Structure 1
Amino acid sequence: MGCSTQEATTRVGPTPLPGSLTYGGKVVHSRYRPGTIVKNTFLGQFGYRVFERYVVQPDGTLRLTYQATGPDFLWD
């Protein structure tokens, strides 16, 4: 079975978490050029570090495109 076009266009990106720049429907405008990547890092639930990447849209708003979590410490 193949993938339909509608399935590809309805794909949703990561969901903003408490601490995300766009959490709760907040609209953030950037002074950077469209297409610029903006990084955000914060301490999330259970002490995990959350890493996010946003892309500046043509209207100056930020769109969350990447989100990952990892421990907030390094093992030696």
Structure 2
Amino acid sequence: MNEDQVNEFWQAHPCGDSLVGGLDKLNKDYKVFFEKYDAFRYGEYPELLKLLENMGFNNKTVLEVGLGQGADSEQIILRGGL
């Protein structure tokens, strides 16, 4: 398997796609997809938002290493992380 094949796979099967009904079923509406993904993620793990809220990211440079859609990175940015 090469890098192009890996890229092709993830373009066809975004992380979390099956959890929210599939991007194709949402007519490739990325805004709705990410809203549904966030609702699923933070509905399933509500403690994450509370933890992120209490970590004090404001004006701090943050390297968030993770796999997925970047939902936690978005939350860090919304809380002032750089």
TM-score, normalised with respect to structure 2? 0.28
Normalised to the residue count of structure 1, the TM-score between the two structures is 0.29
- The structure whose residues are more often helix, as a share, is 2
More strand as a share of residues:
1
